[in-house]
């Protein structure tokens, strides 16, 4: 049973999407299947995580072909953690979608595609083969493109053209990079690549290839200067879609960066400096972008970019403490960003607009909801002891130890900007006097929804807020996970040994 455990989250999502396709026209069935399936998938992911935690890195050889020839799936602590976070966000969004996405969209296969997206995410986190990673990226892009255009409003199509063009470009660059790497080494297995790339003498060529990967994943992760597609496309689809995009899609890019630059292209000062510079510029530009926006969801979109900077900075510093900070931030960010976009969706349902200038008086009308909204907002800023606070400490300590003062400055500056932005949002959306807005006809206001639909919208936000609170107050546990992940990532021989076995490494050294 447990031998094939690594693939169970994947197989479950695949099964769910096929099952949902069979119920194409029965929307109420789809809602139930999606939510129940997502609960099971959280269970399976917890099982996988605890198994990996006890027994260390596990692999599965797809088709029983031995590495480095066949495709393999590797679950180390980082992959298992991300699969678990995907399942948690997936559950929240599944519930949120069944209440907030209109039936016209659900009729055109929203739920099957949503589970294909989760399948792609799980696959990307678990695969140990660089070309297979590309294939999972394609599955993610295709599903996300369907989700972003579903409904076919004018603004949506405009956003999706930008989204699609840049992501296809990134895929092309990624594919080119894989081709060059394959030409250099003759292998696609990541562990095998790690050994072979280290042995190449022409370092210039290796650096160029690494830069290609950096650009490709940089577009996906939305780092400076490749981020401009993100704020233009993320505010257009339904907020449930934006939640899963904001929470997980850019993080796949970050994951790929972390994986490739800790496993294959390791210990290159030039690359680390480039990553650091990119990180600092991302922190600045994302923060400043968020400051001037008026649309609530655009503000959150710019904050995504800004906070990608933290994770990239940890990768650029490349010490164990810094990587631990990155991983902690990744864990915190996936949960909070998913929650934030759902908050955006909820506010939109209550008031019928997302313009900060026109919003207001939420505290007077819905005091309990405002309290709920406060948790993700202030977790994002990192008001101690909420969850955003702890990873920043690790990052700042790491930057101090490496004597990169400008990185320390940038991290603090970005935190300050985030604080200002969130304070502005809080003051004008929650506290400001309520403005009389024109009532929109045919708009399903929150108050008019059925109780069960209200519960389906509020419950995932409570769930994710509780997870956020746990990350903040149980920081010790999360820190343990992050340190262990960082330990595994800094010493890539563990990963290689798990995949190829000890003998291969010794053979290679001889």
Residues of the shown chain interacting with another protein in the complex, contacts defined by CB under 8 A: 1, 3-4, 7, 11, 14-15, 17-18, 21-22, 24, 60-64
Write down the least CB distance from residue 14 to another protein, Å: 6
User: What six digits make up the tokens of 182?
Assistant: 């394959």
Write down the least CB distance from residue 162 to another protein, Å: 25
Residue number, 116 or 163, with CB nearest to another protein:
116
User: What six digits make up the tokens of 15?
Assistant: 């099964």
Which of 88, 240, 228 lies closest to 150, judged by CA? Answer: 240
Name the one residue in this structure whose structure tokens are 């899963």. Answer: 244
Write down the least CB distance from residue 133 to another protein, Å: 17
Write down the least CB distance from residue 123 to another protein, Å: 12
Write down the least CB distance from residue 135 to another protein, Å: 14
Q: Please state, in angstroms and as integers, the Cα–Cα distance from residue 413 to each residue in 134, 288, 393, 396, following that order.
A: 35, 10, 14, 12
Q: Exposure of 292 by Cβ count < 10 A (0-12 exposed, 13-18 middle, 19+ buried)?
A: exposed
Which of 422, 203, 216, 221 lies closest to 313, judged by CA? Answer: 221
Residue number, 25 or 154, with CB nearest to another protein:
25
Residue number, 4 or 480, with CB nearest to another protein:
4
Write down the least CB distance from residue 39 to another protein, Å: 21
Residue number, 14 or 175, with CB nearest to another protein:
14
User: What six digits make up the tokens of 76?
Assistant: 């180390």
User: What six digits make up the tokens of 148?
Assistant: 């972003």
User: What six digits make up the tokens of 250?
Assistant: 């850019």
Pairing of strands 58-61, 72-75: antiparallel
CA dist 258 and 253 (Å) reads 9
Residue number, 62 or 277, with CB nearest to another protein:
62
The 8-class DSSP code of residue 249 comes to I
Write down the least CB distance from residue 259 to another protein, Å: 21
Residue number, 7 or 87, with CB nearest to another protein:
7
Residue number, 8 or 495, with CB nearest to another protein:
8
CA dist 505 and 503 (Å) reads 6
Residue number, 63 or 204, with CB nearest to another protein:
63
CA dist 460 and 450 (Å) reads 16
Q: Exposure of 308 by Cβ count < 10 A (0-12 exposed, 13-18 middle, 19+ buried)?
A: buried
Residue number, 21 or 168, with CB nearest to another protein:
21
User: What six digits make up the tokens of 24?
Assistant: 């194409």
Write down the least CB distance from residue 232 to another protein, Å: 29
Residue number, 15 or 29, with CB nearest to another protein:
15
Write down the least CB distance from residue 111 to another protein, Å: 13
Write down the least CB distance from residue 15 to another protein, Å: 7
> Which helix (H) or strand (E) covers residue 319, if one does?
none
CA dist 309 and 283 (Å) reads 5
Residue number, 150 or 299, with CB nearest to another protein:
150
Asked if residues 327 and 235 have their Cβ atoms less than 8 Å apart, the reply is no
DSSP 90-131: HHHHHHHHHHHS-HHHHHTTHHHHHHHHHHHHHHHHHB-BHH
CA dist 453 and 434 (Å) reads 25
Residue number, 150 or 173, with CB nearest to another protein:
150
Write down the least CB distance from residue 315 to another protein, Å: 31
Phi and psi at residue 73, in whole multiples of 5°?
-115, 130
Q: Please state, in angstroms and as integers, the Cα–Cα distance from residue 353 to each residue in 60, 201, 237, 435, following that order.
A: 48, 58, 14, 12
Write down the least CB distance from residue 28 to another protein, Å: 18
Name the one residue in this structure whose structure tokens are 């008026």. Answer: 294
Write b or e for each residue in 199-220: b if 16 or more Cβ atoms lie within 10 A of its Cβ, otherwise e. eeeeeeebeebbbbbbbbbbbb
Name the one residue in this structure whose structure tokens are 């996936």. Answer: 334
């Amino acid at each position: 049973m447990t031998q094939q455990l690594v693939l169970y989250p994947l197989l479950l999502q695949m099964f769910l999407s096929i099952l949902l396709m069979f119920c194409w026209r029965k929307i109420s069935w789809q809602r139930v299947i999606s939510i129940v399936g997502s609960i099971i998938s959280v269970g399976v992911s917890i099982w996988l995580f605890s198994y990996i935690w006890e027994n260390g890195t596990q692999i599965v050889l797809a088709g029983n072909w031995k590495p480095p020839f066949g495709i393999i799936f590797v679950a180390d602590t980082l992959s298992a953690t991300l699969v678990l976070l995907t399942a948690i966000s997936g559950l929240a969004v599944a519930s949120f979608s069944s209440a907030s996405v209109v039936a016209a969209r659900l009729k055109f296969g929203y739920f099957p595609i949503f589970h294909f997206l989760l399948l792609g995410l799980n696959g990307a986190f678990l695969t140990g083969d660089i070309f297979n990673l590309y294939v999972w990226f394609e599955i993610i892009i295709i599903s996300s493109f369907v989700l972003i255009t579903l409904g076919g409003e004018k603004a949506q199509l405009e956003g999706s053209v930008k989204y699609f063009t840049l992501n296809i470009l990134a895929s092309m660059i990624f594919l080119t990079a894989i081709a060059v790497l394959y030409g250099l080494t003759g292998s696609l297995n990541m562990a095998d690549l790690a050994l072979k790339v280290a042995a190449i003498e022409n370092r210039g060529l290796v650096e160029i290839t690494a830069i290609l990967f950096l650009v490709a994943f940089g577009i996906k992760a939305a780092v400076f200067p490749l981020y401009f597609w993100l704020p233009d496309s993320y505010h257009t689809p339904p907020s449930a879609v934006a939640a899963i995009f904001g929470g997980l899609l850019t993080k796949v890019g970050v994951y790929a960066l972390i994986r490739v630059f800790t496993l294959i292209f390791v210990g290159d000062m030039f690359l680390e400096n480039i990553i650091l510079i990119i990180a600092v510029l991302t922190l600045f530009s994302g923060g400043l972008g968020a400051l001037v926006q008026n649309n609530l969801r655009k503000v959150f979109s710019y904050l995504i970019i800004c906070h990608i900077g933290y994770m990239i900075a940890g990768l650029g510093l490349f010490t164990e403490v810094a990587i631990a900070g990155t991983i902690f931030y990744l864990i915190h960010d996936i949960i909070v960003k998913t929650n934030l976009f759902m908050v955006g969706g909820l506010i939109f349902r209550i008031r019928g607009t997302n313009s900060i200038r026109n919003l207001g008086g939420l505290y007077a009308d819905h005091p309990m909801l405002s309290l709920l909204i406060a948790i993700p907002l202030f977790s994002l800023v990192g008001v101690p002891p909420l969850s955003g606070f702890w990873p920043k400490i690790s990052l700042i300590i790491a930057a101090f130890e490496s004597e990169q003062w400008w990185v320390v400055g940038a991290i603090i500056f970005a935190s300050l900007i985030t604080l200002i932005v969130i304070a502005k949002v809080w003051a004008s959306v929650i506290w400001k006097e309520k403005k009389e807005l024109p009532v929109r006809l045919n708009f399903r206001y929150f108050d008019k929804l059925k109780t069960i639909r209200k519960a389906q919208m509020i419950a995932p936000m409570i769930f994710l807020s509780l997870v956020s609170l746990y990350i903040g107050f149980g920081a010790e546990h999360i820190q343990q996970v992050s340190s262990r992940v960082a330990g595994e990532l800094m010493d890539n021989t563990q990963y290689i040994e798990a995949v190829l076995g000890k003998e291969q490494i010794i053979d290679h050294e001889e």
